[in-house]
Amino acid sequence: MVDERRVSTGVAGLDEILRGGLLQGRSYLVRGGPGTGKTTLGLQYLAAGVAEGEKALFISLTEPTRSIKGNARSMGIDLEGVEFLDLSPTPDFFVQVESYDLFSPAEVERQPMTEQIVNRVEELQPDRVFVDSMSQFRYLATDPFQYRKQVVSFLRFLADHDATVLFASEASREAPDEDLQFLSDGVIELEAGPNGRTLRVIKFRGSDYRGGIHSISISDQGLRVYPKLLPAEYGRRFEPEQVSSGVAEIDHLLHGGLERGTITIITGPSGTGKTTLGLTFMQEAARRGERSVVYSFEEEVEVLRARSEAIGIPVGGMLEQGTLSVVKIEPLEYTPDQFAQMVRTEVEQKGTRIVMLDSITGYKLALRGGDLVAHVHALTKYMANMGVTVLLVNEVETIAGGEFRITDVGISYLGDNIIFFRYLELRGQLLKAVGVLKKRFSDFEKAMREFTITEHGIEIGAPLTNLRGILTGVPYWVGGQDEEG
């Protein structure tokens, strides 16, 4: 009976997808085209085993050991303690014409290669084996039946020695690997396309796993996997208390503030104060010793810092104290899964209590044509389940007049709370007004108020009860007031 102990792949994100890692004593296929990261994954898998005190063996059928070790060093992968069996072709292959026809090597090569593998495995008794690549066995077999029989025998031999095996395959039309998929206990597929690198698990016997397509990256830090976010799998207990803005009039509009674990859409035209309003909640959170994060998709960190401090919000001091982090996101550098992993790190490892995405328009660029609503839904619901107060800044194009719309991207249903801004044209002046359109867990003030940003911060006027037509952007006075507009 196979021991169901989990074996780490050496890649945290992949272990999460596999519900803890590979099953010990089984064989798994890593398939994909050239340059998709198969060898890198195998190297990290073996290095993780050595780090846990296990014996690890790399069987190379294509690339010499020196080249493999050089590539590993460039990615910071420590192969100290990993054993190598180098069966790649040597330069002597081309001069040994007296041994066999250059184009018919199968019968001559197969037996000594098999003997070397058997001897090395029996000598080392490895816990982990990576074979790169299993496709080479195909060229040492005289027909498909013999190849399949050879692979089955090889994998059973390793299993009898209690080894957990990863073996790579470069699938192509000329050399398909469907037979290897059937013979393996699991299949991990890597791809590199115009929208970035991806990974998916398409088979995993004996265990559940997280399906779907997940983003990956390969850099000087090796291969990293960013699991697709499934909100229902995350959650923690938290007190559903109200979060104050620190501005009495704003709290009055909201009947006390925003509740923890809720999603608030702050929407309005450019320049109305949406980001500033979000920062006031973070300033008050800092006074309580709580951490907040702004992900800025459009504005540079220094610009945000300078203009916030000009109106009395001490962003610099909050950054120094660690109660605030402002992260500039270049949208085209991250996939949604990569960005979601950044947010998870903040929430799960740093205890962040308020997160603001500024803005949804910038976030949309990171999707590279993906489904905006699906990704925003997953990310915001995850944060809400974790007790985070979420602020979504949304910019609408209409300045004044015209049809009133909450968002232009169809995410208004996500908002537990909706705070909206409008420009008002009144007596030849352009004013700003703020109001609450929705609050799921409590009542709220129905009137709008004038909203002003001064060097001392936000100032909120009295309720605009004598104005009509505010949502059109061209209001008029009623009840005996001057009707000039």
Least confident of 148-152, 164-168, 214-218: 148-152
Higher local confidence (pLDDT), 385 or 462 = 385
- Residue with token string 């396309």: 193
pLDDT at 21: 97
Hey, what domains does the chain have and what are their CATH numbers?
6-228 (3.40.50.300), 233-477 (3.40.50.300)
Six token digits for residue 481 = 């007031």
Query: In this structure, what are the phi and psi dihedrals at residue 377, rounded to the nearest 5 degrees?
Result: -60, -50
Six token digits for residue 9 = 């792949």
Do residues 295 and 330 make contact, with C-beta atoms less than 8 angstroms apart? no
pLDDT at 102: 41
Would you place residue 193 in the very low, low, confident or very high pLDDT band (cuts 50, 70, 90)?
Answer: confident
- Residue with token string 């009840």: 479
User: Cα angle at 319 between 313 and 322, to 5 degrees?
Assistant: 125
The full length of the chain comes to 485
pLDDT at 96: 52
The residue type found at 230 is L
Residue among 159, 197, 205, 237 nearest 19 (CA): 205
Q: Is the pLDDT of residue 274 over 60?
A: yes
Higher local confidence (pLDDT), 239 or 405 = 239
User: Cα angle at 259 between 252 and 227, to 5 degrees?
Assistant: 145
Least confident of 167-176, 348-357, 388-397: 167-176
pLDDT at 473: 60
Q: Percent of the chain at pLDDT above 70?
A: 87
pLDDT at 12: 96
H/E stretch holding 405: none
Query: What is the rounded CA–CA span in Å between residue 12 and residue 348?
Result: 15
Mean pLDDT over 206-231 rounds to: 94
The residue type found at 83 is E
H/E stretch holding 13: helix 12-17
The residue type found at 475 is P
Q: What is the mean pLDDT of the chain?
A: 87
Six token digits for residue 404 = 């009133």
pLDDT in tens, 49-104: 999 999 999 999 888 999 999 999 999 999 999 999 998 876 554 455 444 444 44
Q: Where are the beta strands (DSSP E) in 170-262?
A: 186-193, 196-204, 214-219, 222-226, 242-243, 258-259
The residue type found at 138 is R
